Amino acid sequence: MFLAWKEMRRARVRFGLLIAAIALLVFLILFQQSLQNSLLRSFVGAIENQTAPVLVYSVDGQRVIQASVIPPDLEAGVTSLPSAGVVGRIGQGTFTAETTSGLFDVTILGYEDPAVGAPSDVVEGRLPQSSGEAIASDADASNGFAVGDVVTLRPSAREIEIVGLAADAQLNAGPTIFVTYDTYLDSVAAQNPDAGTPLPNVLGIAPADGVTAEQLVVDVNDISLDLDALTRSDAADATPGVSQVRSSFQVIFLLYALVVPCVTGLFFLIVTFQKANALTLLRAIGTPAGRLVASLLIQASIIMAAGFLLGLLLYLPTTLLELGGLTLQFETVAVGVWAVLLFALGVGSSLVAARRVLAIDPIAATTGAGVGR
């Protein structure tokens, strides 16, 4: 411990540079982890955090709510299923809304029955009960979607009052509000007078007593090849773009994570070569090899810990930021997992240098051969 620490103090620049490199890598990894989770939440949070355990799309909708349309005959088929408990219509539209903070693209989700289709995690206020009320996602509160605010749809000039906030209830990375079905129909009609009454986009279903969500999915899909039923979490995962985001980030994480042990390993290998004479001398005067290796591992541990903490410190302020509408959160689980993984990789890579240390022959002190090339 003594040796390890003393050496680091004497060679501040190089150990400092290494810690800086590790810190930046950790920061980038954690930041992108937050980014990924936040992106996914803002894309499909509204789907994951609503009350219907099963959602039924039309196959033509390709797992996009707005593109899906359920014709009356298929709706009747679903409603009459014995394994379906509660069935409710869900409609989605995209509108331009004016708030106290300006103009926004707003997604409006209308639900018929709050038991299947309303946001599941109300954090402030209440669900809308009458026409002209809405519950917004808490991420949008500061943009004029706070409880008590009124948003005006343009160009129809329809007004909607926010009566509650729900957690993680965004769709398509933009402001999202949930309304009762009649408010939704009203908004659509005001927007496009040429259209008639729109058909529902999606049906939300809760299974009947004793039926699992998975069984319900199978039963609904058996009704018709034009229906596409999914459990809530499958619907979120299958939304176009989600798997692309996940795959892209996976490649990114893999590459960054590989850089960490390479840099640490390289560093300790070179430093061990440079200390060859000093190490040989220590062995000659009776220092056990294990002690030298322990010293090496201690240094690696200190560096990884310091680098990780520094990276964490850099990461913390970003979790308080809003990045173009995305609120990044401190991902505790991810931080824990990466801490363990990177620590293991970093310290493990120093073992390559440890091998060299163990190969030192104390007799070399008298001949000056050192660790050799």
Partner 1 sequence: MKLGLLELRRRPGRFATATIILTLIAILLMFLGGLLDGLISSSTAAIKAQSGDVIVYSESSQASFLRSRVDGELRTAVEALPGVEVTGGIGLVQLGARVPGNGPRDLASVALFGYEIPPDGVPDVPADGLVWADDVLKSDGVEEGMELLLGPARSPVTVAGFVSDVSFNGQGSLWASPDTWREVLVANRPDAQLADEVFQALIVVGDGAPSALARSIDDATAGATESFTIPDAIDAIPGVEEQQSTFNQIIGVTVVIALVVIALFFALLTVERTGLYGVLKAIGARSSTIFVGLVAQAVVVTLIASAIACAVVLALDVVIPPGAIPLDITNSRIVTSVVLLLVAAVIGCAFSLRRVLRVDPASAIGGSA
Rounded-to-integer distance, Cα 245 and Cα 49, Å: 20
Three-state SS letters, 285-342:
CCCCHHHHHHHHHHHHHHHHHHHHHHHHHHHHHHCCCEECCEECCCCHHHHHHHHHHH
**Smallest distance, Å, CB 172 to partner 1?**
8
Closer residue to partner 1 (CB): 206 or 304: 304
The burial class, CB within 10 Å (0-12 / 13-18 / 19+), for 10 is exposed
**CB-neighbour burial class of residue 90 (10 A; exposed 0-12, middle 13-18, buried 19+):** buried
- For 233, the token pair is 């979490």
Under 8 Å between Cβ of 168 and 179: no
CA distance 294 to 290: 6
Nearer of residues 123 and 269 to partner 1, judged by Cβ: 269
The CA-based angle 330-335-339, given to 5 degrees, is 155
Based on CB atoms, which residue is closest to partner 1, 169 or 188? 188
Which of 1/103 has CB closer to partner 1?
103
Contact assessment for residue 106 and residue 178, using Cβ atoms and an 8 Å cutoff:
no
CB 187 within 8 A of CB 94: no
Judged by beta carbon, residue 1 or residue 59, the one nearer partner 1 is 59
Whose Cβ is closer to partner 1: residue 213's or residue 271's?
Answer: 271
- Which of these, 140, 125, 117, lies nearest to 202 by C-alpha position? 117
Q: Which residue has the tokens 């459990």?
A: 231
Helix (H, G, I), strand (E, B) or coil at 193: coil
Report, in Å, the least distance between residue 208 CB and partner 1: 25
**At its nearest, how many Å lie between partner 1 and the CB of residue 210?**
28
Nearest alpha-carbon partner for 129 in 146, 115, 114, 117 = 114
CB-nearer residue toward partner 1: 49 or 191? 191
Minimum CB–partner distance for residue 109 and partner 1 (Å): 16
Q: Is the Cβ of residue 326 or residue 347 nearer to partner 1 in the bound state?
A: 326
**How many whole angstroms separate alpha carbon 187 and alpha carbon 108?**
9
Enumerate the β-bridge partners of residue 86.
Answer: 206
> Which of 323/358 has CB closer to partner 1?
323
Q: Which residues bind partner 1 (CB under 8 A)?
A: 13-14, 17-18, 20-21, 24-25, 27-28, 31-32, 35, 58-62, 67, 69, 71, 94-96, 103-105, 154-155, 173-174, 188, 191-192, 194-199, 225-226, 228, 240-241, 243-244, 247-248, 251-252, 255-256, 258-259, 262-263, 265-267, 269-271, 273-274, 323-326, 368
Nearest residue (CB) to partner 1, 212 versus 243: 243
Q: For residue 90, list its beta bridge partners.
A: 111, 202
Neighbours of 359 (CB within 10 A): 10
CB of 15 to partner 1, least distance (A): 10
> Rounded to the nearest whole angstrom, what is the least distance from the CB of residue 96 to partner 1 in the complex?
5
How would you classify the pairing of strands 133-137 and 159-166?
parallel
Q: How far apart are the C-alpha atoms of 47 and 65, rounded to whole Å?
A: 9
In the complex, the smallest distance separating the C-beta of residue 35 from partner 1, rounded to whole angstroms, is 7
